[in-house]
Structure 1
Amino acid sequence: MATTEPARPGFQLPLLLLAGFRTLIDDLHAELARQGHPELRPLHGFVLQAVGADGTTATELGQRLGISKQAAGKTVDRLVAVGYLARVDDPQDARRRLVMMTPRGADGLRRSAEIFDRLREQWADTLGPERVDALEDDLRTMAAANWFRLDVPGWFGG
């Protein structure tokens, strides 16, 4: 008995969602580079958000991102080298060092938010605002309640 493949095979849905995500992220980073942030990579946005305004330790950062302390340390080293993060003494505990966001890191996050707003507007111009609203509503319905998670780097890495 011959089986026919569905007109829309199930494997295409996650690939199309990933392609949409990749398109937004690639467009974001191209614009960030034009605006003076060519060093920022997709992982770095998660790192900057995980560091937050109050800072964190490399161990805590690794836990938040779902990666090892060593991987977090390497990423911090890179972001310190290009001016997005700084290591400082913890004022509460002299034995600890904190990772803090620099003004350059905060600027990169601020610009990212502004660019994402413009990219969303571009999608609304192409697809129509109602369709983009509906797409977001539908994705919220299907996504887990804690859909915004900083551990995506660790999840992708396996």
Structure 2
Amino acid sequence: MSSDVPGFELPLRLLLAFRVLIDELHAELARQGHAELRPMHGFVMQAIGPRGTTAVELGRVLGVSKQAAGKTVDTLERLGYVERSTDPADTRRKIVRLTAYGMDALERSARVFDALRARWAEELGEDRLRALESDLRRMTPANPWRLDIPGWFGTL
């Protein structure tokens, strides 16, 4: 079966859709008081999660070195999104946890993503958007939480 659309356009359009959504998310987060957040910070904060983690585990989940993860944690700590504390179970380990400010950013992100999805549904039609989402679920792994994107891109 032949197509007049070159095969390379599909991944580029998917990446552009991702970029449009992320850029709009960050523009809105900036308006809501989180101007210093960068797209990579969202991956890091999701990987830290509500219970916290260590720099070693964070690096593993993100697919980057402990040092690269630590550098980003330093930035997020300086900005007030995370804090380090001693692990009560092992005083040699440091646990990275989200602060209230960090949790606020994640909660706002979830609401902004819902609003962006609603806008796409209005523009494309709810049925077409649901079909697109269904098709993407069919063509991708079941678990959408691949937080190793930073390491896969070779950045962070």
Corresponding position: 1:67 with 2:64: yes
* 2:112 matched residue in structure 1: 115
Q: How much does 1:6 deviate?
A: 4.3
Deviations 1:10-41 (A, max 9, x none): 00000000000000000000000000001111
Corresponding position: 1:19 with 2:16: yes
Equivalence map 1:98-109=2 (5 Å): 98-109=95-106
Deviations 1:52-89 (A, max 9, x none): 11111111100010011110010000000000000101
Identify the match of residue 136 of structure 2 among 136, 139, 154. Answer: 139
Look up the SS of the partner of 1:106 in the other structure: helix
Distance in structure 2 (CA, Å) of the matches to 1:6 and 1:140: 23
Deviations 1:99-140 (A, max 9, x none): 110000000000000000000001011100111100000000
* 2:153 matched residue in structure 1: 156
Structure 1 residue runs of 5 or longer lacking an equivalent are: none
Look up the SS of the partner of 1:23 in the other structure: helix
One-letter amino acid of the structure 1 residue matched with residue 21 of structure 2:
L
* 1:87 matched residue in structure 2: 84
Report which stretch shifted further, 24-33 or 50-59. Answer: 50-59
Root-mean-square deviation (CA, aligned residues, Å) is 1.2
| Runs of 4+ off more than 3 Å | none
TM-score of the superposed pair, with normalisation by structure 2: 0.95
TM-score of the superposed pair, with normalisation by structure 1: 0.94
What count of residue pairs does the alignment treat as equivalent? 154
Give the number of the structure whose alpha-carbon radius of gyration is greater: 1
